[in-house]
Amino acid sequence: RKYTIPYEEIGAEKLSELLRAFYKRVAKHPLLIPIFPEDLTETLRKQIQFQTQYLGGPNLYTEEHGHPMMKARHMPFKITPDRAQAWLECMSEAMDEVGLEGKFREVYYQRLVMTAHHMINSPNEDE
Ligand code: HEM
């Protein structure tokens, strides 16, 4: 088979491992702490649902929460270029931690870069 659905390639278990490693970093990042809830349990649960469908798996996020409208859902938070960079750094480090490598990682990460840049809705604090 030439094309594998990315969700099948990573698998449910590895995806949740990745996102747990990601939020562990978000919880410690000085630029991200102020906008995230203290308890990230529910945030992690929703992100697993979202990434499952983002990678071509079952539409778990939409089934429970409706249309993703990600940019609109991020409007209550100041998403600055620096915060987008911080978010992506947490993700890249999480990918290192769980051993995501090669073409799969490259393509997935580049897609997250585009989505993260699309979420930006405010200038940096000092600008
Ligand atoms: C929710 C920040 C990028 C997907 C959130 C929340 C914050 C946030 C503060 C609310 C957390 C909560 O109340 O539980 C950021 C920042 C980003 C970013 C600073 C940097 C660019 C992204 C990207 C994606 C994404 C790139 C998807 C690829 C989500 C999802 C939720 C969420 C699925 C849950 C939405 C819901 O409440 O239903 N994000 N985010 N975010 N974010 Fe982001």
For the chain, the domain total comes to: 1
Is position 1 within any domain? no
Is position 29 within any domain? yes
pLDDT in tens, 94-105: 999 999 999 999
pLDDT in tens, 28-82: 999 999 999 999 999 999 999 999 999 999 999 999 999 999 999 999 999 999 9
Query: Which pLDDT value is given to residue 127?
Result: 65
Nearest CA to ligand 1 atom 39: 74
Please compute the mean of the pLDDT values over residues 100-122 and round it to a whole number.
98
CA distance linking residue 91 with residue 97, whole number of Å: 10
Kindly provide the ipTM of the predicted complex, given to two decimals: 0.98
Where residue 74 sits, what CATH number does that domain have? 1.10.490.10
Is position 127 within any domain? no
Under the banding of pLDDT at 50, 70 and 90, the label for residue 2 is: confident
Domain containing residue 101: 6-119
Contacting residues for 30 by C-beta, under 8 A, at least 6 apart: none
Q: Is the CB of residue 124 less than 8 Å from the CB of residue 80?
A: yes
What is the pTM (predicted TM-score) of this model? 0.97
For residue 37, report the distance from its CA to the centre of ligand 1, in Å.
Answer: 11
Is position 124 within any domain? no
CA distance linking residue 91 with residue 110, whole number of Å: 11
Under the banding of pLDDT at 50, 70 and 90, the label for residue 1 is: low
Pocket of ligand 1 (CB under 6 A): 35-37, 42-43, 46-47, 50, 54, 65, 70, 73-74, 77, 79, 83-84, 87, 112, 115-116, 119
Nearest CA to ligand 1 atom 17: 84
